[in-house]
Amino acid sequence: MSSEVDLESEQYEKHREAGRILSQVREETADRVEVGASHLEIAEYAEDRIRELGGKPAFPVNISIDEEAAHATPSIDDESTFGEEMINLDIGVHIDGWLADTAITVDLSGNDELAEASEQALEAAIEVIEPGVNTGDIGAEIEAVIDGYGFNPVVNLTGHGLGHWEQHTTPNIPNRAVSQGTTLEVGDVVAIEPFATDGSGKVTEGSSEEIYSLEHDRSVRNRQAREALSQITEEFRTLPFATRWLETDRPEMALRRLKSSNVVHGYPVLKEDDGFLVSQKEHTIIVTEDGCEVTTE
């Protein structure tokens, strides 16, 4: 983006408003996480609160437990409750397609240093962000802090740009030092997202899927699939959505048909390779002339 970009334009004001809503919802939701609380009630609380405050969820609330790192959200009739676990909440808001994305670890497992490692790594990353900084150098800051705690960054997950109706776009923000990074410019909107683990530092796909997004808008014959596709294209567009958000009857069947026709694609839950714990902390920032602005503090 050009350095002539107007950071007071409507686009950036919508990013900021999404961030303000998200900051409030993150704190209110984290305060409700306790042993015995319902995953589904927590997710629906956050998503409903976003709407009450004037935004819309940019993706389903992710509730990742212990070795889970991303893409876990409650199913329609989910009866899961929290135990003495490491819990990551990843929440997004959009205003007319302009996004904010944030995450926090609520540690009920007694591993507070692992939670602190990702939090401090995020702070160190934000301190070096300014126009002209290379994303590889941001990754180096994240890696150094997490290493200093005696843990590993999750190397195959990254931060990312936030586009219009796009939750993940360029540039990627690595969680380790890389030699071929991207230079940030004034006006870039990016989510910085350190993940720390006491495992080897890689995640792989699990078998469960509750989150999907539109891949190709094409005609389908099945009634439930048509109803679901109409809601997807009108309400969610290209943003991720949950099975439980679909208003058609038999939404799971509708999604199976849409997936088999390559209309939607799913996001399998990502888990640490060896079953070790993962912590996460994330903020959305706007690159400014003299540094950066955190929209989700």
Could you say which of 39, 94, 160, 283 is catalytic?
160
Q: Please say if 101 is a catalytic residue.
A: yes
Q: What is the mean pLDDT of residues 78-98?
A: 98
Q: Is residue 162 predicted with pLDDT exceeding 50?
A: yes
Is-catalytic flag, 193? yes
Q: Provide the annotated binding site for substrate.
A: 71, 168
Provide the pLDDT for residue 229.
Answer: 97
113 is catalytic: no
Which H or E element spans position 70? strand 68-70
* Average pLDDT of the segment spanning 54-58: 98
Based on the number of CB atoms within 10 Å of its own CB, is 6 exposed (0-12), middle (13-18) or buried (19 or more)? exposed
Average pLDDT, the chain: 96
| Sign, CA torsion 263/269/272/274 | negative
Query: Pairing mode, if any, of strands 152-153 and 264-272?
Result: unpaired
User: Does residue 29 carry a pLDDT above 80?
Assistant: yes
**pLDDT band, residue 4 (cuts 50/70/90):** confident
Alpha-carbon distances, residue 108 vs 12, 168, 261, 272 (angstroms): 36, 29, 41, 19
Phi, psi of 124 (to 5 degrees): -65, -40
Q: Are 46 and 91 in contact (CB under 8 A)?
A: yes
Q: What residues are designated binding site for a divalent metal cation? A: 90, 101, 160, 193, 282
- Which region among 1-15, 85-99, 239-253 has the lowest average model confidence (pLDDT)? 1-15
Confidence class for position 241, pLDDT limits 50, 70, 90: very high
Tell me the C-alpha distance between 277 and 106, whole Å: 13
Does residue 271 register a pLDDT over 80? yes
Domains of the chain: 10-205+271-294 (3.90.230.10), 210-269 (1.10.10.10)
Only one residue has tokens 């009630």, namely 41
CB neighbours of residue 183 within 10 Å: 13
Q: Is the pLDDT of residue 3 over 60?
A: no
User: So what's the pLDDT on residue 2?
Assistant: 45
Q: Is the pLDDT of residue 200 over 90?
A: yes
> 271 near 203, Cβ under 8 Å?
yes
